[in-house]
Chain A
């Protein structure tokens, strides 16, 4: 069996769109299960009171990373055919900072705001309105900032290629780092237990 399936012609683009819909259902389902339709729970990450963002995100990253690693080592998945977003390091750092501001100001990111809106939350719906406005503004000011957007191009590059660290070693290091992060997260939650918004397990809106 050769993967990615679509690159080996197992099905065409139209079937790919159906796959996208089904994969999206899984994505939305697990985001909602985790409580990520709740903007307050998400924001509590940044007050060290509910560390679910870090835990869910890094568990997902190491799960998928290990899967990709072993499937590629065993020759099932051809990594050269998996799309890697090209790196433009400076605009990505600045964009990340702005996005981080938006996360703590608004309480969501685009994916989680969809789940919030789908479960009837007004703040999630209005956040999506904001995202659409922000994207519109970017397009309109592109002639002014296009140079910066395209600055510092490094091409499609992984950390292992950039830092010259063997792929397997880096995978192992990321797993260790995530486990350390989980331990620190559990510690922080215990320390802040009882404070407003700590360890939200259910809906908490007024």
Chain B
């Protein structure tokens, strides 16, 4: 019985990266063909942030050129392609994780760091990511992946910068990961 349980709980290995990449590429191609636009992620969180800000402090939103832009044309920023797409990403990630026995509470980190410090780094990294994605007009999905496939000039400059930035800081982060 316990042996059977162990078998059921055992995780399946990740897919071959090239196979996963072809799958992702086909999903991206379908987005271009059906909708005329690519994938994204950070944009959905932008919609969420401005919607909450607008609910709490509408006059503040109206006084900010950038935030105001989300409400031009009278459309609700939550009724947006990226918002619905990211809800799908959560669902798709969950489905794949369930099928592979990978939906479990946990924290990914290197062997030399505590869970607590790992969480601190996760939040700090997220803040940098959120700010950087806004400045760059998109994140790894919207710029690097989608813009990359369209050979968008800014997307490729962005992509090279992402790798440059990450590799430049990797040495200082080695205690977290290795």
Contact = CB atoms under 8 A, between A and B. Distances in A.
Contacts, number: 573
Given A92-B157, A117-B90, A106 B129 contact: yes
Nearest to A111: B41
A29 B92 contact: yes
B40 to A, nearest CB: 8
Interface in A16-43: 16-35, 37-41, 43
B132 A96 contact: yes
B168 to A, nearest CB: 7
A157 interface: yes
Given A46-B167, A77-B33, A27 B126 contact: no
A57 B139 contact: no
Q: How large is the interface on B (under 10, 10 to 19, 20 to 34, 35 or more residues)?
A: 35 or more
Interface residues of A, number: 139
B25 to A, nearest CB: 3
Interface of A: 3-7, 16-35, 37-41, 43-47, 49, 51-52, 55-65, 67-68, 71, 76-77, 81-89, 91-124, 126-140, 142-143, 145-146, 149, 154, 157-162, 167, 170-171, 174, 182, 195-197, 200-206
26 contacts: A6-B36, A23-B85, A29-B96, A32-B97, A35-B20, A46-B173, A55-B17, A61-B145, A63-B21, A64-B28, A85-B152, A100-B169, A102-B130, A110-B130, A115-B96, A118-B89, A120-B104, A122-B107, A127-B125, A130-B122, A133-B127, A137-B130, A138-B130, A140-B64, A196-B110, A202-B14
